[in-house]
Amino acid sequence: MGLIGIDLGGTQLRVAAADDRGRLRTVVREPTEAARGRQHVIDRIVAAVAETLRQERSSPPRIRALGIGLPGPVDPAAGLVISPANLPGFRNVPLNRILTNATGIPSFLHHDAHLAALGEHRRGAGRGASELIYVTVSTGIGAGLLLRGELYAGAHGIAGEVGHIVVQPGGPLCRCGNHGCVEAVASGTGIAHAARDAAPRTPGSALHRIENPTPEDVVRAARAGDVLANTILETAGTYLGIALGTLVNLFNPQVIVLGGSVLKAGRPLLQPMRRSMNASSWRASRRGLRIVRPALAGDAGLIGAVEFARLRARHAREA
Ligand SMILES: [Zn+2]
């Protein structure tokens, strides 16, 4: 017997076969081809599952459960994809039912960031933690919560939207429609926005000479001592720290797994982040807190999807 885990992103689709203990065996990678619409993507998922089983010399009756992570918002309890930004055509799609029918394997979806949190908790940097917060800061900000060692999804699967904690009321517009969310000011998108805003007014900065500076341009300039670039990273780090401090106050976590490309900015961002996290959380809530790097890197979501399938298979056996 075995399990299937799927990580469905806007650009890449990965399908893993794992044994009953969650150890990965075969992994099949395919482009998602999201632009070609919902049915095409679903057909690709089903074909990739069949290919994975073929390589494993397995078959649907020998797979206990299929777990699939995809961008939110999703409603795991209802098995519904609600409206992920980078999967056009997926609006209110009953994906659990569709995949269960098409593959013959009991299928269960969840938010990809939550599954990455589950992966880090079961097999990565957060093993053994009772209260764990996973935050990844790249183009956007994704997060997942484990409370008492279990995924916490909220009433409708939308818990853990850390990126939409408002840290700068009236600040830049966020893709959620509010202003000043931490994602709008501290993600890669937020950093690029700050650079594009300030660079034209700052002739002394290296960023002034770059058309549409990227977060990587900002990090490079900061390393070379550019004052504006360092200020932008300091601001982003400070806002990120406020959001983390809020989480610390709320959940008194043992571990925060903190990753994503923006963290590669290093000290100019991390130092102000730490400072403002401490300034916006109660000392007692931070006692014993460890902030660690992810251990599974890009595989956290896929491993989490397998672990989710394993959880569901266990529930099914106990029910
Ligand atoms: Zn927002």
DSSP string of 92-139, one letter each residue = SB-HHHHHHHHHSS-EEEEEHHHHHHHHHHHHSTTTT-SSEEEEEESS
Dihedral angle computed from the Cα positions of residues 17, 21, 24 and 28, in that order, rounded to the nearest 10 degrees: 10
* Model confidence band, residue 307 (pLDDT cutoffs 50, 70, 90): very high
Tell me the C-alpha distance between 106 and 60, whole Å.
9
Furthest-apart CA atoms within the chain: distance in Å:
66
Long-range contact list for 150-153, CB < 8 A, 24+ apart?
A: 151/110, 151/114, 151/117, 151/118, 151/308, 153/76, 153/77, 153/110, 153/111, 153/114
pLDDT number for residue 275: 98
Confidence label for 238 from pLDDT (cuts 50, 70 and 90): very high
Q: What residues contact 192, with CB distance under 8 A and at least 6 apart?
A: 212, 213, 214, 215, 218
Ligand 1 center from residue 88 Cα (angstroms): 20
Residues with CB under 5 A from ligand 1 (ion): 164, 174, 176, 178, 181
> pLDDT tens digit string along 265-305?
999 999 999 999 999 999 999 999 999 999 998 899 999 99
Question: What was the pLDDT predicted at 316?
Answer: 83
Average confidence (pLDDT) over 198-218: 95
Distance of CA 76 from the midpoint of ligand 1 (Å): 21
User: How far is ligand 1, taken at its centre, from the CA of residue 209, in Å?
Assistant: 30
Q: How would you classify the pairing of strands 63-70 and 107-111?
A: parallel
- In angstroms, the CA 133 to CA 59 distance is 36
In whole angstroms, give the CA distance from residue 158 to residue 160: 7
| Domains of the chain and any CATH numbers | 2-112+298-318 (3.30.420.40), 125-294 (3.30.420.40)
Q: pTM here? A: 0.94
Q: Is 19 helix (H, G, I), strand (E, B) or coil?
A: strand
Q: In terms of residues, how long is the chain? A: 319
Centre of ligand 1 to C-alpha 114, Å, is 18
Given this model, what pLDDT does residue 245 score? 98
Q: What confidence score (pLDDT) does residue 301 get? A: 95
Q: Tokens 């060692």 belong to which residue?
A: 149
Query: pLDDT value at position 157?
Result: 85
CA 111 to chain centre: 8
Look at residue 319 and tell me whether its pLDDT is greater than 80.
no
User: Quick one: pLDDT at residue 297?
Assistant: 83
Tell me the mean pLDDT in the region 153-158: 88
Å from CA of 89 to ligand 1 middle: 22
CA of 22 to the centre of ligand 1 (A): 34
pLDDT tens readout for residues 240-264:
999 999 999 999 999 999 999 999 9
Give the CA distances from residue 293 to residues 260, 297, 319, in Å, rounded to whole numbers and listed in that order: 9, 9, 36
pLDDT at 84: 87
pLDDT, position 142: 92
- Decide: 249 and 285 in contact? Cβ < 8 Å: yes
Q: State in Å: Cα 26 to ligand 1 middle.
A: 37
For residues 31-46, average pLDDT: 96
Tokens of 223: 């390393």
Task: Using the mean position of ligand 1's atoms as its centre, give its distance from the Cα of residue 310 in Å.
Answer: 32
Give the other-Cβ count within 10 Å of 57's Cβ.
8
Say what the pLDDT of residue 37 is. Answer: 94
